[in-house]
Structure formats: C-alpha cells, structure tokens
Amino acid sequence: MGEMTDYIAGLDEPDRSAMAEVHRAALTLVPDAVEGVSYGMPALRYRERPLLSVMQAKGHIGLYPFSPAVVAAVSDELGGYSFSKGTIRFTADHPLPDGLVDRIVALRRDEIDAASDR
C-alpha cells in the first residue's frame, strides 16, 4: 500500500468510499501514477509531480488537483460545490460526478505532460 491508500483505509464510512472512488478514478486514467506525499498531503504523483490529493476535512472532503488552472477550467461545472483556486469541496452525500472527476484528473495529467515535455 502507499500513503494515499493507507490514509483512505483509515477513515470511517461514508467518506472512505467517496474518497476511494476518486482514488480509483485517478488511477484508471493515470495508471502510471504512484503514491507519495505532496505539500504534506498523501497524494498521487505522476512524472515526479503532484497529480491529485483527496483529504477529509471538518464538514467536507477536499479534492486538491495542485493546479488553479484546472479548478478554473472546471469551475462552470461546480455549481452546488464550494471551491477555491486550489480546492474543490464535496461530501459523501453530494459526491462529485464521475465524469467531472475524470475531467479534473485528465486536465491535470495533460498539464503535467505539457510541462514535462518542454
């Protein structure tokens, strides 16, 4: 196991399942991602850069794509969710739609690829 898997496994339901679904979706889209730590958070890393973190907070779950540009790119799809330039907040009772999670992960992956190819 790794940092993110261990972190999620230590949580209570229903947050554990909601966060595990985000983790699963990210690994499906970016199978080369590895578990590690970024900015002190358990995270998935891709090409030596932070891809995504998802963490439990008081009253919500935070999704951190490590990119204000990614959050801005999906901001029109975040009606009903709280977000800032670096965080998208959701709950197990009001999870992010699978397609939106996929889009966030793909945008971040593509951003990392573009930066790495320079």
Dihedral (CA of 98, 101, 105, 106) sign: positive
Encode pLDDT of 40-93 as tens digits.
999 999 999 999 999 999 999 999 999 999 999 999 999 999 999 999 999 999
Whether residue 52 contacts residue 64, with contact meaning beta carbons closer than 8 Å, is answered with yes
Separation of alpha carbons 115 and 50, rounded Å: 12
Q: So what's the pLDDT on residue 8?
A: 96
Length of the chain: 118
Whether residue 46 contacts residue 90, with contact meaning beta carbons closer than 8 Å, is answered with no
Strand 88-90 and strand 82-83: the pairing is antiparallel
Q: So what's the pLDDT on residue 95?
A: 97
Whether residue 35 contacts residue 42, with contact meaning beta carbons closer than 8 Å, is answered with yes
The per-residue pLDDT of the chain, averaged, comes to: 96
Q: So what's the pLDDT on residue 116?
A: 86
> What's the domain count of the chain?
1
Residue 118 predicted with pLDDT over 90: no
Whether residue 112 contacts residue 46, with contact meaning beta carbons closer than 8 Å, is answered with yes
CATH number at residue 70: 3.90.1150.200
Encode pLDDT of 18-28 as tens digits.
999 999 999 99
Whether residue 26 contacts residue 51, with contact meaning beta carbons closer than 8 Å, is answered with yes
Residue 1 predicted with pLDDT over 90: no
Quick one: average pLDDT of 82-105? 97
Domain carrying residue 81 = 3-116
At 68, is the secondary structure helix, strand, or coil? helix
